Every structure is written in structure tokens, then in C-alpha cells.
Structure 1
């Protein structure tokens, strides 16, 4: 008697267990491993022009904060709830010496010191005992940087070599854009899904060159030979493209611990990079980016946003056009709020991001042991970020 064979459903979705993310390198609140690593560095939290005499509510690493600039020009970053009775300082009034609460008029300077209590005898005899929780902030490179970590571990705010020594007809411009291709300033997925894109070199020849049409210069469409290597501060990807005319196009991108990216211009600008970008988690499932770059004195943007489908910018496209012509945002947000790392099938083209994840894990261990991670300096002369990234046409 012949036995009827039954089909075998290899890889059936039935019974599949939910995937999981790696919390150590994705979650960013206080007390989490990555949250503590990120807080060991000075991080950009706003454009310099956004720190004004009008209080601004911002969110960084899952914390809500009030940003302001007092009338003497000093930036401040404080907890949103007044230390007196908890009223939000978003309704405060900024004055010469700080920010005044709308409820009972307590005045706090940019370091949280209570300098006036107008409802109390002698303007508050014990006001020096009250401190509004605050973070140190500094202006640099057209951005406002904050240090949100343990006070005793505060490092020096480093200089960026590529942004120093600019010409008289140039300036440093700061920008906030979640995706270089467009989209909202705050993107709705975990920060690492975007950040790793700097080392995901092969997607350029697929997503940006063939799948959704040529979005960069034709040379970028050539499939590269890639070498990934460790640097003093992170991981770099060296991409070699042999062009149809026989020229060698060398492109170097970098990812610096823990959240700094250096990606060269994709529209043909030759030479070393003259900009740097920080990927800033807003919380576990949202992020933004801040970029500082060298531009001409008359420039209002670091570079023009690329035109996508049918001459449209990203925000002008319909949902159907986004589906048919996806870009970075669609590819990364499409992974979900936090991608399921347990469901990944990593291959040779993913070597760079694997190297960086392992580097992050090593830095988490360094911080857990009470030591300084990569890129934290105590000596001002040594506190310099040196970049190797750039486009080099006709390289030898």
C-alpha cells in the first residue's frame, strides 16, 4: 500500500515566538548600561539658536528638561518641575540671572541655585539650601552640549579637528535632522537602527541606487569592496569602488563610540569630511540627530536635502510613494520601534555593525567597572576628535 506523503513546511510562521532586542545597547534611561555610557559624554541637546529667553521643553535619554538662556547669555538646562511646589518651569520667566517660577516667583540661575524667594522674609534667608536639579551646559559648534552623567565623572568637552581653523568666508553651522533624506526631526524608532547605517555600506548600492532610483552620484551605485577596522575611537569602513573608467573611488565612513557618526558627502564632494553627527536618543523608541559642519558664510544648510521620487522631497511624498520608493526612514522604522535582534541573520556584509556592537559591549563593561570609556578625556590638550572619513577620488 502506497503511503501518501505530507508536505513539510520549513520555516512556518506558526508557533513562532516573539523576537527580542538587546536591551544593553538599545535602552537609554538612567541606570541602564547604555544610558550610563551615553551619560559619560558631553552630548548636543539643542541648536544654539533654540536656547533663548523663552523656556523650551526638550527630551533627551528619556528625561524631560527645560532649556533656556538667561538675559546675560548663559544657557541653562534644568528639571521641569520647580523645587518649591512642582510647577512646570515651562511657564517661567527668563531674566538676567536665571529663570523665575510663575507660581511663587522663586528665581533659579543656570546652575540651579535659588537666588530669590520673594514671598519669604529677607527674600529667603535659607534659599542657598535649595537647588533646582540641573545639568551643566556649554555652547560649541552652533550647538548646546549638556553633560548628564555623574558629576565626579564629568570630562572635558572635546574639540573636533575637522571644525577647527576655518577660513574667513566660512562658518560652523548646526542642524537637527533625524534622517539626512528628510522626515521629521524626531524619528520613531530606536537610535541604534539609524546609527548602524553608517557601517552598513552595502545598502547604498541597493536602497539608494537601484531599488528607489539613483539618489546619490552614479559612482555610489557601484558595489564596493569593504574593509572594516577598529580605530582609536570606534570602527571605520573603507570602501573601494573601481569605476567604469578605471578610476579608484575610496570612501571612508566612521562610527565613534558611543553615538558619533562621520559620513562623507554623497554628492561628489572630494576630500576629508568637514562635518560630524551625533545620534541622540530621545527615549528607547525615538531619536534625533545633531550635525555640525563647515559651510560658507552665506549658507543656511549644511547641504541641500536630496530630491527623491519625481522631484519631491521626503515630506512631500504620499504614503503610496513612500511604499514604492522607500528611503532610510522606511528601511529603519520598518524594523519596528526596536528591532528584534534575536531574529537577525547576520552575514559577511554585516561585519561592521557586529564590530561596533561588540565595541559598545566592551565600553559598557569599562563603565560598569568605574573607568572612563573611549573618547573621554581629562586633559584639554588631548581632548580632540580626529576623523579619518572622507571621499577620495582617483585614490592610489
Structure 2
């Protein structure tokens, strides 16, 4: 709820604050009546009317009669965000594919373009060029320009877009944000892919009601995003969340980071392929198909994925003990795990985590956004500034 303005606040600052709160409510919460907006934002109806009228004049919203009647009298007007009036560019730079999407006010995907990549063989210049081309084509199709851009990258990255390291892309010391800003001719915000997965789930997914959550992502690598007290935890250089490089098996397999026995070597995509008796580097579609098949055979799933389940549980026990979230969301390939495996892992964490036993109520669930989480997170990163 919006609180009262502080002493000395200028009227234009109050209006801007209220307008931002209203835009944010419509963007995340969707259509609602003026009366609902007034109640949720703690503003009087005349203020809401002035704000909505201003947004309507600018084409950002339209009003229509709500099908829901609240007693006798005039019907309530429903305020609906107009996606094409305000849209951002969202980019997910993956290890094996990159997606560029136009996402409108309210979260609607207005269009997207995707292309495949050779693992670890994509140059920065090639990615920037293709993103710029895709952005131009989307803008031509929509007949306008994005008000911002957000980019997801699988690596250690600052918000200004400096990529310290993206090992699976073979990128080190890359000024990605600067290069994309020049190519797109607008400011670009960049975030770690798992961090943006957490943002997406917290804004639009299964973690909307959670104040503290951890998003654990398994694609080619393993990453993590952390939300604490409803705010993202990033660290000074954007390095919070490198969960894949916890050492869980000293003397285990070599990891590209230079260590042995990182969690990523035991639960990453290649480890999952080994557990499924598939060649390392198998197509994602094949891995997902195999997991879904096992989902229909619980006993076989428990047998074939026993060792994988043990390592996944061990890592999550460490994560829960360290961060104490109320919710852990499993994303990307982990979201495709058979339900019996997720249940087994959750039970292991409940029994073996000190924090879980002491606090109780810690939940482990799969992503509700699936493979779209990172592109949605990139869009929300851009909207945070645009709104």
C-alpha cells in the first residue's frame, strides 16, 4: 500500500510516485476497477480518476464496463493495460540458443525470434549483431520502439552489463551492456540468467507470495537467484548465486572453473544425461522427453535417478542452511524432473537441513514459468526502470 508523502515532497513528485505505483499495479496485477485501484494503493477516488484519465489520454490504458457488478447503481469501469502502447525488448542469451522478444505492458509477449547456437562457439559480436537485427524486425512489425531492454546472460555480470565471466559461452571481460546499448541505441540492463529467473518467478510465477526464495536453475550449467525480503540479492559485482560451484564432492570430476567436484559436475545437464544413459551434450528435447517418460514410471525414476537425486538433495541442503528461504524453486531442466523425484528431494531436505528442521515450512517446488522464466525476467528487469 502506498504510504503518505514525506514532509517537503513536491506535488509533482507525489504525482509521479502515485503514477508509478498505478502503472506497476496494472503491469503485474492485470486489469482491475478504479475502486480496486483506490483500495489497493491507498489513494482516494479522485486521485485515481485523474491518474487513469492521464494514462488513457496517453494510450497506455483503456476503460470498459466490467462484467462484475457491485450492487445497484452505475457499473464499475475496468482499467486495462494496453500492451502495444508500452513495450520492452527482452533478450535471453543462452549457451545453445538465444531468444529476443517484445514484451508489452502487462506482460504479454508480442513477438519473438529465436536462433540456435553451437555450444561455446558464439562470439560476442555475432550475438550483438543478431540481437540488433531481431530487435529491428520486431520494432518494424509492432510499429514503434521499445522503452527499454533487459538481457539475461549465464555468467557473473554487473547490472551495467559488464560480464566478468560467462564460462559456458567462453566470454571473459565483455562489455555486453555497452555493445548492445550502442547497437540498439538505447540503455540496456543486464542480469545473470538465474537471477532473472528468480525475478520472473517472484513477479509472475509460483513465488509471487514468497518474501524469501531461491531459484535454482540447471541448463548447461547450474545457477541460482536469491530474493530476500522481496528484494533481489546480487552482491557488489553481481556474483551472488553461483551455486553450481559449491564443492560437494572433493576429488570428483573436474569443473571448467578449475575445481573438482562442483555441484554443477553432479547435477548439471551433462550429469543428468549420464543419469539417463544419454550421451553428454544430448539435445535438450531428448533429455526432456526422457524425463517426462520417467514421470509416468515413478519406481523406475527413483531407481535410475537415485545418485542424481542424492547430489541434488545434498546441494539443496547446503543452500537452505546458508540462505534459509521459505521457498526453493527448481527451474529449467529441474522443472522437468518427475514429481516423485521432487518429492524425494524435498523430504531429504526437510529431514537433513538444520534450518528446515528448526524453522519448518520450507517448500521445494518446480517453476511455473518453465523455459520462459529467463526471458520474462529480462523483460521485468527492463520494466522496473521503464515504469
Please confirm whether the aligned pair reaches a TM-score higher than 0.5, indicating the same fold.
no
Higher normalized helix content (fraction of residues): 2
Q: Scaled by the length of structure 1, what TM-score is found?
A: 0.22
Q: Scaled by the length of structure 2, what TM-score is found?
A: 0.23
Higher normalized strand content (fraction of residues): 1
